[in-house]
Amino acid sequence: MSDVGDPNPLYWESTYEIVLGLMEHHPEVDLDTLGLRQLFAWIIVLPGFADDPAMAHDEFLIEILRVWYEEKSEIS
C-alpha cells in the first residue's frame, strides 16, 4: 500500500484511474493471460494505492480487467 498522503489516492472503486496506472506500468501485458492474482498484486503496489488490500474481491478485479481490456482495444 502506498502513502495515503498521495494527492490522488486510488481506491478499489477508482476503476478507471487504476486502469490508467496499470496501463502506464504494464503497457505490454497480454490481458488474455493475466490472472486475477497477478492483477491484484500489481494494483496494490501502484503509486497512490491507498485502499485496504483485504477489501479486494473478484468483482472489483474482473471489472478492472474488463475496463483495461476495453481501453487497450480502443488504442489498438
Domain coordinates in residue numbering, the chain: 15-75
| 18 Cβ contact partners less than 8 Å away, ≥ 6 residues apart | 10, 12, 43, 46, 49, 64
* Res 75 pLDDT > 90: no
The pTM score is 0.88
Q: For the segment 16-31, what is each residue's pLDDT rounded down to a tens digit?
A: 999 999 999 999 999 9
Residue bearing the bigger pLDDT, 7 or 26:
26
Q: For the segment 35-47, what is each residue's pLDDT rounded down to a tens digit?
A: 999 999 999 999 9
Question: For all residues of the chain together, what is the average pLDDT?
Answer: 92
Query: What's the confidence (pLDDT) of residue 27?
Result: 95
Give the 3-state DSSP-derived string for the chain, with helices as H, strands as E and coil as C: CCCCCCCCCECCCCHHHHHHHHHHHCCCCCCCCCCHHHHHHHHHCCCCECCCHHHCCHHHHHHHHHHHHHHHHHHC
Class of 15-75 per CATH?
Answer: mainly alpha
